[in-house]
């Protein structure tokens, strides 16, 4: 694995750690580790910036889908300061780590990184969303 590939995979891993963090303290630390202080997140349903708003968005998603976690699907691809990766939201109870479980939400994200490999921007694309989400 090249240093560049590791850079993108590490950033994606920190990003998913934030989305999967349990509890306010762990979530706050994970968001701070993944994003720059003025980092942003934009998808068809949200447009937020800063740690506080990103944390609130993740908290709302966790409340909407209790017992679900985000996982990568496929590989992380990147160049320069930009990476992209696909993900899905799966039920922990049905074996998210083993590849099992239903995935009511799926999509892919494009992230840009700063010089310290923290996320400056996320542009999210939703491929599958349940009705009413």
**Which residues in the chain come in under a pLDDT of 70?**
1-4, 94-102, 132-133
Q: Note the CATH number of domain 3-128.
A: 3.10.450.50
Q: Which two tokens stand for residue 12?
A: 């994606």
Give the per-residue pLDDT at 103. Answer: 78
- State how far the Cα of 60 lies from the Cα of 54, in Å rounded to an integer: 10
CB count in 10 Å sphere of residue 115: 7
For 86, 114, 129, the CA distances from 82, given in Å and listed in that order, are: 14, 9, 25
Residue spans of the domains in the chain: they are 3-128
Q: Tell me what pLDDT residue 98 has.
A: 47
Residues 122, 40: contact at Cβ < 8 Å? yes
- Asked whether 103 and 83 are in contact (CB, 8 A), the reply is no
Alpha-carbon gap, residue 101 to 88, rounded angstroms:
10
Rounded CA-CA distance 81/116 in Å is 10
Task: Give the per-residue pLDDT at 129.
Answer: 83
């Amino acid at each position: 694995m090249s240093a560049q590939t590791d850079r993108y995979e590490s950033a994606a891993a920190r990003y998913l750690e934030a989305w999967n963090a349990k509890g306010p303290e762990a979530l706050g630390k994970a968001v701070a580790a993944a994003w720059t202080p003025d980092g942003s997140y934009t998808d068809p349903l949200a447009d937020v910036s800063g740690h506080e708003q990103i944390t609130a968005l993740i908290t709302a998603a966790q409340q909407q889908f209790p017992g679900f976690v985000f996982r990568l699907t496929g590989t992380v691809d990147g160049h320069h300061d930009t990476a992209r990766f696909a993900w899905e939201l799966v039920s922990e109870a049905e074996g998210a780590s083993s590849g099992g479980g239903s995935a009511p939400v799926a999509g892919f994200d494009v992230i840009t990184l700063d010089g310290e490999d923290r996320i400056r921007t996320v542009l999210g694309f939703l491929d599958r969303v349940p009705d009413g989400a």
